[in-house]
Structure 1
Amino acid sequence: MGTWKTRGLRGSTLEDLLNRTNDSYREKKLALIQKIPTPITPIEIDKKSRHITLAYFDMKSTVDYIGAVQGIPVCFDAKECAVSTFPLQNIHPHQIAFMKEFEAQGGIAFIILSFTAENEIYYVPFDVVNRFWVRMEEGGRKSFTYDEVVPEAYRIRSHRDMYVHYLEGIQQDLDRKEEKGGDSE
């Protein structure tokens, strides 16, 4: 009898893993996080099936996920990067503005970044992302590298049915902000 070898959840996208993790968080009453659907404008609708057959994406969406963790408002975007350099063009100005305003209201904003070639996922605090963004706006690099971000990001590991267990990253981010005196920039 042959043995069956699994490669785990290798074929799943980051979003699939996050959705499963968020379901687990909800079931365990740890957090309530919701995927924000990308807004679309329908162009054609099949009258019989009432399905949208042609549409375009609206450019202005906020972030991928929003919710609350133990009473703390959180919002984040999920990004994947196949190489060791992440282009900042993958983040839109309105997303940076939204995350900045979200943190100004007492929430926690961040990016979950999967470096697929490294098979590693990181929690990147908003102030770290914003520093790279400001550098770009001031004429610097239009990207950041794996080596630049990893020392300031928090590695996310899986834990049982929490495939992208980012709550630990939130706690580390909160601890760091408390040490800095609440100053996030």
Structure 2
Amino acid sequence: MGTWNSRGLRGSTLEEMVNRTNEWYLEKGLALIQKIPTPITPVKMDQEHRHITLAYFDKRSTIDYIGAVQGLPICFDAKECVAETFPLQNIHQHQVKFMEEFERQGGIAFILIYYSSKNILYYMRFAELQVFWNRSKEGGRKSFRFDELDSRFFMEFLRGCYVPYLDAMNLDLEIRDES
């Protein structure tokens, strides 16, 4: 195990941090969240070691994570961004459609974005994503800028490795209740 370096995740991915956070939330009895594996079809196998050496994606995956928080169904995707501008091409039409239908069924959908150059996390509510998505479909920017984001939803890692998305989700719920 390497030493902790506060300059970004350094060797760890956002996905690993989210997985660790989900285990922690489960241990605390706060949430049950599972990573949805991307379906693949093996093409070549190493018979001796029973490893897949070549495969292709079966179909497009919908979303990275799905589960329940205190009885509330949630789904979310985790994305990393190096620049100040996030290209919407990193989010696919079928994912937006899935999140929209998920919310229509009473669930909560969001995207976690890790801005690696700033070492900061962002919880993007689905309603906010829709604004940017619709803007791009109507001929506007095909991306959104860091300075366009709602400052209330920026997060820092807890204890250096946990993603406190339940806190941001609580704020999301409060905003929904006010509407």
TM-score, normalised relative to structure 1: 0.89
Do the aligned partners of 1:25 and 1:162 also contact (CA within 8 Å) in 2? no
Whole-angstrom distance in 2 between the partners of 1:161 and 1:33: 21
Give the structure 2 partner of residue 172 of structure 1: 171
Post-superposition shift, 1:59? 4.2
Do the aligned partners of 1:125 and 1:173 also contact (CA within 8 Å) in 2? yes
1:99-133: CA deviation from partner (whole Å, max 9, x where unpaired): 00000000000000111111110111001011101
In structure 2, the gaps of 5 or more residues are: none
> Percent identity over the alignment?
56
Post-superposition shift, 1:138? 0.8
Give the structure 2 partner of residue 76 of structure 1: 76
Give the structure 1 partner of residue 111 of structure 2: 111
| Range with greater deviation from structure 2 (50-59 or 130-139) | 50-59
Post-superposition shift, 1:38? 1.3
1:132-159: CA deviation from partner (whole Å, max 9, x where unpaired): 01111111110000001244x6112333
- Tell me, yes or no, if structure 1 residue 30 matches structure 2 residue 38: no
Give the structure 2 partner of residue 183 of structure 1: none
Whole-angstrom distance in 2 between the partners of 1:162 and 1:118: 15
Which residue identity is paired with 2:16? D
Give the structure 1 partner of residue 86 of structure 2: 86
Which residue identity is paired with 1:33? I
Do the aligned partners of 1:14 and 1:80 also contact (CA within 8 Å) in 2? yes
Give the structure 2 partner of residue 48 of structure 1: 48
1:17-61: CA deviation from partner (whole Å, max 9, x where unpaired): 111100000000000010111111211122232221100123411
Which residue identity is paired with 2:175? R
Which residue identity is paired with 1:65? Y
Whole-angstrom distance in 1 between the partners of 2:30 and 2:157: 15
Whole-angstrom distance in 2 between the partners of 1:33 and 1:178: 24
Whole-angstrom distance in 1 between the partners of 2:160 and 2:66: 20
Do the aligned partners of 1:24 and 1:161 also contact (CA within 8 Å) in 2? no
Give the structure 2 partner of residue 123 of structure 1: 123
SS in structure 1 opposite 2:45?
A: strand
Give the structure 1 partner of residue 16 of structure 2: 16
SS in structure 2 opposite 1:158?
A: coil
Which residue identity is paired with 1:39? P
Aligned Cα root-mean-square deviation (Å):
1.6
Give the structure 2 partner of residue 134 of structure 1: 134
Post-superposition shift, 1:162? 6.3
Post-superposition shift, 1:161? 7.9
Do the aligned partners of 1:24 and 1:162 also contact (CA within 8 Å) in 2? no
Do the aligned partners of 1:76 and 1:109 also contact (CA within 8 Å) in 2? yes
Whole-angstrom distance in 2 between the partners of 1:109 and 1:165: 16
